Structure formats: structure tokens, C-alpha cells
Amino acid sequence: MVKVLIVDDDQMNCDLLQNVFARQGYQVLSTTSGQEGLGLFRTHNPRVTLLDLRMPEMDGLTVLKEIRAIDPHAPVIVLGGGATEAQENQARALRATDFIRKGLSLDVLIEAVNRLSTLPMSTMTTPPASGDERVIDRIDESVLIIDDEPLLCDLLVRFLSLRGYRAFGVKDGHEALQIVKSTPPDAIVLDLIMPGMPGIDVLHTLRDQAYPGGIIIMTGSHNEELLQEAWSLGPQEIMIKPVDLERFLTAIQLVLVCREC
């Protein structure tokens, strides 16, 4: 089975990526620590490593330097969200195999990993076909994810879809409101900080339009004034990123159950 190593200090990104690539048929190792990531690399010799550049303690560039010392040709995909131009140039100088910004879609990342992870069929477990990802029970409830970060949006949609929900995502507040107007979802997961139309404005509009479904705010903002304004508009939950996936799933379940009460 092909091994993929994920090194990213954002636990939620780690968990979501692990879930996605495990479903693709890979053996996935993950850690939020650069030092631990090096240990996993030495022990397991992964076929592909996904590496975040911006991490505390041991950053991604240091990890990449150490990986190059161990194996000069190991495929390493750098996840470059938030990295400076200088950091990106250093990563390229260290022969990063691919450089994918976190703002790109999940499909781009999956395609890159699939391209790099070619093994003889005799040593590789066949991944499930994309249409054959098993869902034990189909749940007739819909969830709209509104988040301007395409990778996270796609990951959350995939995560909920694999658990039976009719999940779909958009990256723009105006587009989201058009969808809600034409086909109201049962629940909405909304980021507060977005370009164009901020999430707080989307929330105000949803309340003005008397949207009847459940609303979960999931944001990286720690702005107390903004969070208080959001609470005043009556969402069922506000979760600060990174969010534990089990807690996220529980919140979705509770919001949908309460909607039926």
C-alpha cells in the first residue's frame, strides 16, 4: 500500500487530508510536528510527503532540508498557504517536487499525489473508485459550506458527503445567498472572514430573510467584537478553527436534530 505522510501544524487540515487520502486507498501518516514528521519519514519512507511551510518550532523549510539529506529524490509536495515569496523560493531551491497553494482545490492536490505515487500494481492495493466510496446510510439532509478557502471547503464537503449528508460548498457570500434563496439547505457552515461579502454580512442577510435552517459559524477570527455580533444573530454554534472533526460532526448532528424539534 502506498504511504503518504502529512506534516501540517493545523490539526483540522491533517485530519481532513488523512480522511480523504485514506479513502483514496493510501496508507496515511500524519503529524502536526515537524520533528515528529522527520521521525515518521525516516521510519516509514513514504512515497509522497505533504509538507506545510509555516509551522512553529521546526518549520517546513527545515523539515525539507532534513528530508533532502535523507533522500535527495523523495517526492515532497509543499503546501504553501501563507508562505512568503522568499520561503517559496527557498522551497524550490530545495527541489520541492510540487508547490500547491492551500487556496487551490482539493482535486488539484489529489491529482498531484496520484501522479507521484506510481507503484507496480503487485505491490499496491487498488484504491476504491471515486464512485465506490461506501456510505453506510444516506442521510436526506443538506449542508452548505461557505468558506473562501477552496481546499478546506472541498475537504469539509467530502468529509460530510462520506457520512451520508448532501453536502456542497461555495467560496463566495453572494453565490451562497442565491443558493439559499433557490434551494434552502437544512444547515449552513459559515466562515466569518471572507473577501467580497464578509460572513457576518451573509449572516445578517440570512436573518433578514428569516432563513429557517441551522447555522454553525466556523472561523479563524478571535475578534471578540465580531464574535459577539455573530452570537447576537443567533447561530446554533460558533467554532474556532482548527476544529476537531468529531466535534464538528457532533455539532452538525445536533443542529439538524434541533431543527426537527
Q: What is the mean pLDDT of residues 66-90?
A: 82
Q: Would you say residue 27 has pLDDT above 50?
A: yes
| Verdict on whether the full-model pTM lies above 0.75 | no
Q: How far apart are CA 97 and CA 92, in angstroms?
A: 8
**pLDDT at res. 97:** 85
241 pLDDT band, cuts 50/70/90, is confident
For the chain, the average pLDDT equals 85
Residues 6 or more apart in contact with residue 190 via CB below 8 angstroms: 146, 147, 176, 199, 202, 203, 215, 216, 217, 218, 235
Least confident of 44-48, 107-111, 121-125: 121-125
Greater confidence, 81 or 188?
Answer: 188
Annotate the chain with three-state secondary structure.
Answer: CCEEEEECCCHHHHHHHHHHHHHCCCEEEEECCHHHHHHHHHHHCCCEEEEECCCCCCCHHHHHHHHHHHCCCCCEEEECCCCCHHHHHHHHHCCCCEEECCCCCHHHHHHHHHHHCCCCHHHCCCCCCHHHCCCCCCCCCEEEEECCCHHHHHHHHHHHHCCCCEEEEECCHHHHHHHHHHCCCCEEEECCCCCCCCHHHHHHHHHHCCCCCEEEEEECCCCHHHHHHHHHCCCCEEEECCCCHHHHHHHHHHHHHHHHC
Q: Would you say residue 40 has pLDDT above 60?
A: yes
**pLDDT digit string, tens, across residues 137-184:** 456 789 999 999 888 888 898 888 878 888 889 989 999 999 998 889
User: Which architecture characterizes domain 136-260 according to CATH?
Assistant: 3-Layer(aba) Sandwich (3.40)
Q: Would you say residue 259 has pLDDT above 70?
A: no
Q: Would you say residue 105 has pLDDT above 50?
A: yes
Beta bridge partners of 76: 49
Q: Would you say residue 133 has pLDDT above 80?
A: no
**pLDDT at res. 120:** 38
Q: Nearest-CA neighbor of 211 among 257, 144, 165?
A: 144
Sketch the domain layout of the chain as residue ranges.
3-123, 136-260
Q: How far apart are CA 32 and CA 52, in angstroms?
A: 9
CATH fold, domain 3-123, is: Rossmann fold (3.40.50)
Residue written as cell 507496480?
A: 120
